[in-house]
Structure 1
Amino acid sequence: MTKIRWSPPTLVALVTALFASLVAALLAAPPQARADDPIVDPIPEDPVPSGIGLVLKEVAQLPKSTPTPADMVTDTRLKRHNRINYVGEVPDHSGRLYVPDLNGSLYFLDKKTYQQHVYLDVKAQFPDFFSAQGLGQGFGFVAFHPDFKHNGKFYTVHVEAGNALTTKKPDLTPQPKTAYHGIVSEWTAEDPAAQTFSGTHRELLRIGFAGRIHGIQQIDFNPNARPGSADYGKLYLAVGDGGNGNVGDNGGDPQNLAVPQGKILRIDPAGDNSANGKYGIPADNPYANRDGVVKEIYANGMRDPHRFSWDTGGQKRMFLGHIGEHAIEAVYDVRPGDNYGWSEREGAFRFDKNDRCYLHPLPADDAKYGYTYPLAAYDHDRPPNVSCTSDSGNAISTGFVYRGGKLADLRGKFLITDIVNGKLLYAEEKEMQRDPSGKKRAQLYSMAAYDTEGNPVTMQQLAGDARVDARFGQDAQGEPYLLAKANGKIWKVVGTRTFADCRTTPVRVDHATSAKDWAPVTPSKWQFNGREVVLAEAGSQRPGPRRPYEYAVLSKGPALGSSEITAKVRLDTPVSVSNRDVIIVFGYQSDTRFYYAHLSSDNTIYPHNGIFAVNDADRLRIDQQWNGNRLVPHGAAPAVTDAAWHDVRVKHCADTGEIAVYMDGSKRPLMTAVDKTFRSGRVGFGSFDNVGSLRDLTVTGTRAE
């Protein structure tokens, strides 16, 4: 064996070369993320399809209304049909629903006929009433005392400007440069059973805000509290930060316990130990015995606490829907003394007031601050061409945990809608648990919607506008309603449906594993061994529109209308290949006209892991899970990531256009679409440029017309 002898010059040259190579490699390598780098996609997990659809029956349309003063309206988002923002039921067993309109009127509706009338013109009672600027300004909310039937008391919140700013003084510390007052009033009806209000009112509390948004949002009573309990008759107020609680003169207000902005307050309308003597401060409030703070505070650290509700079952918890700044729409579990972190935190992320675009990771010592983080959340997925300081088009409006008796599919689900786009979501209440680290959140699920004829619809279609301004409400039995400012309509949820729940009988095709049962694009690339259908050789791109390169169409049996395909598939391309795929073809009419479901290990680019239509043009993605307009695009979770066999089920409803793709026995679809391009056709199996196998194929359906 010959030994290598190294001379000193040779060693020096070798070390120098190795050092130069190492430096070059380090320079070429991508930079490692630092602990405080901005987070581009804070919540990469999207809501997943639930397979549940709400059947919506239109029951009313409230009259048109305009903001006051009308000549001051400059924001087109205020120019709605009207500005109704909730529907509830008067707690007196009279069967009357109530609906407040931010523009000034309180409506009553008969629960059986839905005939409507103005119960109280709130606007007319206050000369300085203001609703012309700010999305939440005007007559914001109404809450009926749980004993309204006997005492006739209810409570409203409204906004004043103009002369009120100089003639009236806020009761709690106002923000510098106060421009608007939020007022809570108590009304006492002479006859609680009357159809129009007659009685008296008094002011309870006045709060000063510098901004035109994020004022006093919801006010309400705990429906679980019973007479004699500590919480009975206590009024909760969700008070926003005034619109700029992270910068300027009122920066930090949500963290300042000496001011009311950015808090949930809790007061006793029947008491008198407040500073103004018009209401009481409950003795069990978390800061009732602490000096130098607002004793009305129940929880703090909020930007825009839009809606809250109590679960009437389970642990009887109080939940809050919180609208975020940069990215996070969140649901919190509200307990006395909680701090939700704004403006130091947005959701479970660090907020940096000097970074107007992105959130940042939590610091290593975050636990010492004691912030409470969301039970569930979703992010804005801001498109790359939209300014990070502009309206993202997302805002959460939480409903309630459904405990009603008519909709079994919804029991135990916390209902959510996005105000802007009208998307319908839920989380399982039992999965909504606190995590001090902020890392664990309940999965959010998306719901479909149907009209009473069974046609799939969206809230945008029902509202006739891309901006829905949607919100949930409920009646005394806990049955849900939806409403929209866009057209002032109210829909009752009268049932549920399973997505793509159409008849796929009587035709049945199975035992199709021989060559005579299939028509491949390139027969030489296929193997039929009597047990499996094998695409053994990758296909090549062909002339014509962009579409799968190689597939085989099932020739056995007739062409089908509605169909259901069940099979086992395997991706035979090595797992080390990132973009491997197989496809399930359906609605096939010709080589340039068909649908296919793309099952891939990659979900980050447009052509992968989705549902597509080829219609004499390049394949078009039609599934509802893809969002390619965001900074970090992706679709549904990867369908197949290994070399094992996987169960796949594809359901296609020809009449409604519904398409659902299920994997591995899941009751919830992985991908969904609604498209009526092809209402009949054949099925098939293939890939773009990979290899794979299929077995245990069964196809059922209706014979094509």
Structure 2
Amino acid sequence: MSRRSTSGAVVAILLTALLTPGANAQADEPVADPIPTPTASGLGLEIEEVATLPQSTAVPPPTDVRLKQWNRINYFGEVPDRSGRTYVPDLNGRMYLLDHGTQHVYLDVGAAVGADFHTYRGLGSGFGFVAFDPKFARNGRFYTVHTEAGNALTTKKPDLPSAPDAQVHGVITEWTATDPKANTFAGTRREMLRIGFGTFIHGLQEIGFNPNSKWWDDDYGLLYIAAGDGGVGLRTTVPQDLGVPQGKILRIDPRGKNGVNGHYGIPAKNPFVGKPGALGEIYAYGLRDPYRFSWDAGGRHRMFLGHIGEKVVESVYEVKPGANFGWSEREGRFNYVKNDPSCRIFPLPADDAKFGYSYPVAGFDHDRLPTSRPCSDSGNALIGGFVYRGHKIPELRGKYIYGEGVKGYVLYANEREMKSDSMAATHSLMLYDKSGQRVTLQQLVGKERVDLRFGQDSRGELYILAKANGKIWKVVGARKFADCRTGHDFVWGATKARDWQPVTPAKWQFPGREVVLAEAGVARPGPRRPFEYAVLSKGPSFGSVRIDAEVRLDTPVEVSNRDVIIVFGYKSDTEFYYAHLSSDNKIYPHNGIFAVNNADRVRLDDQWDEARSVGALPAVKDAAWHRVSVKHCAGTGEIAVYVDGSSAPLMTAVNKTFSSGRVGFGSFDNIGRIRNLRVLGEGE
């Protein structure tokens, strides 16, 4: 996934082709770009800070810089007792209650565990998660996950098969509060389940109860457990082995007794109960690092899992009983080859169907730089979130909100498009602060590493957390990018020579319904800028404006680097904006939004990824007519370019260099034409 993660959508046919991973690749050839870069949605989330949790550190101080954040807050949820209290676990040991703005240390798990509590090595080590019993208000029970090392490795024995040389133990504990209404825990605890892991990574992650189940359902009160592969799956068959718990989703009954240690039960309807050699606790398998899961409160009440990938693909899965997600034979929808020195992935084999793997319903790839070491950490981690079913933000309803956690990108896929036979397209979401200023999480936390996480309250409203500065933001609204009112001055029917002022009139033709650039322009003295264009002289100069037209490139498709441009904010021959619509998106001058301000043109659009030298999807690749819309909001500086009727912008930018000006059409050194031009805006 690129650093600037908003690329535009072009045509549905193109996206459909791109969303068929490896469709044209040979089975023995690696897949270079498995999943399209998330496209710009043109939608932004309005976020408002609601809390800052205390600073904390691992003990002893970690050497891994990734663990050196303000704190390691990991989740945000609401206590299921109708009190309105919310809770936040910190991997460094403490659980906080937020009681209508007041913070309490409810429980110090690290202190309760003692010297064996392990938190200083491994990104998921420490107090990882908490899940409240659905009847907590009456029974006071809740469950936690933490890691242990030290003496625990020799004095305590895992309950389920584990690596003989385990580096850490993952422990699930049941706590019973004497007074469920209290803001500080007092009560009893009992260890329920202990699992050993071969390395310090990919241990026990989220635990939780299905919030959609009712007391009469078979699923009611059963605890789901996301168990990683312990970091050994890339070189072993552990995730595929039904005889071990690592790399699995487990489901247990906290109040049952027929588990191996008598401290929990195995639900009779678990899919592998009674299968020889298989653990009855397993609900689904074939996983590397199953980090976050949630249930959709609407639709078909599906369970979705955010899964952190190995070297190439990050995936969202739909979790069904008995599902095999393929790791480490598969990574996402691709063939994973163990010990491949370049850590690549390959197309699925022709006989893949016989294995019955369950493949992702959404996700993204790493978009590694050509200069990156093949098997180095790519700095990507998919953080699962929630399908929004709240009532305050209708624009989000039915969208599965998730993210890339390291850099803090917020994404979504439409739940209805998340199907077992194809991946839903992923779209990027912008962020706005309380004042309406567009921001990024990296800006808000002041660091490149954000460590983004998500939370949800009982009403289905969303929250965003960052370990980098320990803050929690509530998503309080949504706004459409470049959604300003453009005024009522209207220009159309500009097809006569008197309506235009070309740079070189002899190069232009006005046959009636079209305006034609019939001869390619040539470079002119002065700043680097489009060679040939015509400025619309009919009508006024515009402030905020919307430009709608159809454009066509007449340069043969065999020619590379074909382009036309839409000019706006025009002040003079060396002062204007332009949207560059090109068949190429691989070099700086092509397929983007630019400003010429008495100097060489400067690229403005969010989509340009300088490190990878790639921008938004090519806007015009053929000789057909294409609808183009350009929206410029003078007050905010927001600029959006749309192609072929898409509701999502192909390109976006924010710049306030020019607050008004005229519009125009042209090219650098190609020929083309424009028709059905309509300009609506605030005339000056």
> TM class, shorter-chain normalised?
over 0.9
Is contact 1:456–1:656 with CA below 8 Å preserved after alignment? no
Distance 1:644 1:37, change over 3 A: closer
Q: Summarize deviations over 1:610-664 as a string: whole Å, max 9, x none.
A: 222334443333222233534xx54323322333332211011223222111122
Q: Which amino acid aligns with 1:429?
A: E
Look up the match of 1:396.
382
Q: Summarize deviations over 1:336-365 as a string: whole Å, max 9, x none.
A: 111111111100111112214311111111
The partner residue of 1:495 within 477, 497, 505 is 477
Alignment of 1:365-444 (within 5 A): 365-435=351-421, 440-444=422-426
Query: Which of 1 and 2 has higher RCO (CA within 8 Å, sep 6+)?
Result: 2
Q: CA RMSD in A?
A: 1.8
In 2, Cα distance between equivalents of 1:468 and 1:619: 32
In 1, Cα distance between equivalents of 2:190 and 2:572: 73
The partner residue of 1:41 within 33, 44, 59 is 33
In 2, Cα distance between equivalents of 1:83 and 1:555: 59
Q: Which amino acid aligns with 1:581?
A: D
In 2, Cα distance between equivalents of 1:91 and 1:83: 23
SS at 2:373 equivalent: coil
Alignment of 1:584-603 (within 5 A): 584-603=566-585
Alignment of 1:509-658 (within 5 A): 509-630=491-612, 634-658=614-638
Alignment of 1:163-178 (within 5 A): 163-178=151-166
Distance 1:446 1:525, change over 3 A: same
Distance 1:199 1:481, change over 3 A: same
Q: Summarize deviations over 1:110-145 as a string: whole Å, max 9, x none.
A: 2xx422121111111011111111111111000001
The partner residue of 1:668 within 648, 668, 673 is 648
In 1, Cα distance between equivalents of 2:515 and 2:528: 24
Instruction: Please give the TM-score of this superposition, normalised by the length of structure 2.
Output: 0.93
Instruction: Please give the TM-score of this superposition, normalised by the length of structure 1.
Output: 0.90
CA displacement at 1:288 relative to structure 2: 1.5
The partner residue of 1:678 within 651, 654, 658 is 658
In 2, Cα distance between equivalents of 1:599 and 1:389: 36
Task: Return the index of the structure with the highest Cα Rg.
Answer: 1
Look up the match of 2:325.
340
Is contact 1:68–1:129 with CA below 8 Å preserved after alignment? no
Is contact 2:306–2:316 with CA below 8 Å preserved after alignment? yes
Q: Summarize deviations over 1:8-37 as a string: whole Å, max 9, x none.
A: xxxxxxxxxxxxxxxxxxxxxxxx974211
The partner residue of 1:107 within 80, 89, 96 is 96
Deviates more, 1:569-578 or 1:98-107: 569-578
Deviates more, 1:299-308 or 1:158-167: 158-167
Is contact 2:486–2:546 with CA below 8 Å preserved after alignment? yes
Look up the match of 1:229.
217
Is contact 1:303–1:323 with CA below 8 Å preserved after alignment? yes
Q: Summarize deviations over 1:295-353 as a string: whole Å, max 9, x none.
A: 21111110110110111111111111111111101111111111111111100111112
CA displacement at 1:530 relative to structure 2: 4.9
Q: Which amino acid aligns with 1:347?
A: G
Q: Summarize deviations over 1:481-528 as a string: whole Å, max 9, x none.
A: 111111111111111101111121144333433333332221211123
In 2, Cα distance between equivalents of 1:86 and 1:33: 40
SS at 1:140 equivalent: strand
In 1, Cα distance between equivalents of 2:599 and 2:269: 67
Q: Which amino acid aligns with 1:118?
A: V
Q: Summarize deviations over 1:209-268 as a string: whole Å, max 9, x none.
A: 121111111000001111121101100000111123222xxx221111111111111110
CA displacement at 1:703 relative to structure 2: 5.0
% identity of equivalent residues: 66
In 2, Cα distance between equivalents of 1:682 and 1:135: 54
Alignment of 1:683-698 (within 5 A): 683-698=663-678
In 2, Cα distance between equivalents of 1:315 and 1:699: 45
The partner residue of 2:167 within 179, 185, 200 is 179
Deviates more, 1:594-603 or 1:476-485: 594-603
In 1, Cα distance between equivalents of 2:469 and 2:168: 28
Q: Summarize deviations over 1:565-593 as a string: whole Å, max 9, x none.
A: 11222222233334322100122233333
SS at 1:246 equivalent: helix
Is contact 2:46–2:477 with CA below 8 Å preserved after alignment? yes
Look up the match of 1:253.
238
Runs of 4+ in 1 over 6 A off after TM superposition: none
CA displacement at 1:55 relative to structure 2: 0.7
Q: Which amino acid aligns with 2:309?
A: G
Distance 1:226 1:52, change over 3 A: same
In 2, Cα distance between equivalents of 1:401 and 1:125: 35
In 2, Cα distance between equivalents of 1:176 and 1:520: 78
Look up the match of 1:97.
86
SS at 2:234 equivalent: coil
Q: Which amino acid aligns with 1:99?
A: V
Look up the match of 2:349.
363
Alignment of 1:203-222 (within 5 A): 203-222=191-210
In 1, Cα distance between equivalents of 2:374 and 2:443: 28
Look up the match of 2:437.
455
The partner residue of 1:326 within 291, 299, 311 is 311
Provide structure 2 residue ranges, at least 5 long, that are not aligned to the other structure. 1-23
CA displacement at 1:61 relative to structure 2: 0.8
Is contact 1:69–1:130 with CA below 8 Å preserved after alignment? no
Q: Which amino acid aligns with 2:623?
A: A
The partner residue of 2:42 within 35, 51, 76 is 51
Q: Which amino acid aligns with 2:285?
A: N
Look up the match of 1:699.
679
In 1, Cα distance between equivalents of 2:466 and 2:682: 38
Look up the match of 1:29.
none
In 2, Cα distance between equivalents of 1:115 and 1:521: 65
Is contact 2:393–2:477 with CA below 8 Å preserved after alignment? yes
CA displacement at 1:676 relative to structure 2: 3.0
CA displacement at 1:477 relative to structure 2: 0.8
Look up the match of 1:354.
339
In 2, Cα distance between equivalents of 1:616 and 1:466: 33
The partner residue of 1:65 within 56, 60, 76 is 56
In 1, Cα distance between equivalents of 2:490 and 2:383: 45
SS at 1:460 equivalent: helix
In 2, Cα distance between equivalents of 1:33 and 1:238: 34
Q: Which amino acid aligns with 1:551?
A: Y
Look up the match of 1:16.
none
Is contact 2:399–2:414 with CA below 8 Å preserved after alignment? yes
Deviates more, 1:459-468 or 1:229-238: 459-468
Is contact 1:384–1:629 with CA below 8 Å preserved after alignment? no
Is contact 2:25–2:347 with CA below 8 Å preserved after alignment? no
Q: Which amino acid aligns with 2:27?
A: A
Look up the match of 1:6.
none
Provide structure 1 residue ranges, at least 5 long, that are not aligned to the other structure. 1-31
Is contact 2:25–2:31 with CA below 8 Å preserved after alignment? no
In 2, Cα distance between equivalents of 1:118 and 1:545: 61
SS at 2:345 equivalent: coil
Look up the match of 2:109.
122
In 1, Cα distance between equivalents of 2:359 and 2:239: 15
Is contact 2:311–2:377 with CA below 8 Å preserved after alignment? no
Look up the match of 2:7.
none
In 2, Cα distance between equivalents of 1:293 and 1:336: 14
Look up the match of 1:157.
145
In 2, Cα distance between equivalents of 1:529 and 1:668: 33
SS at 1:448 equivalent: strand
Deviates more, 1:339-348 or 1:589-598: 589-598
In 2, Cα distance between equivalents of 1:603 and 1:540: 22
In 1, Cα distance between equivalents of 2:281 and 2:436: 49
Is contact 2:232–2:238 with CA below 8 Å preserved after alignment? no
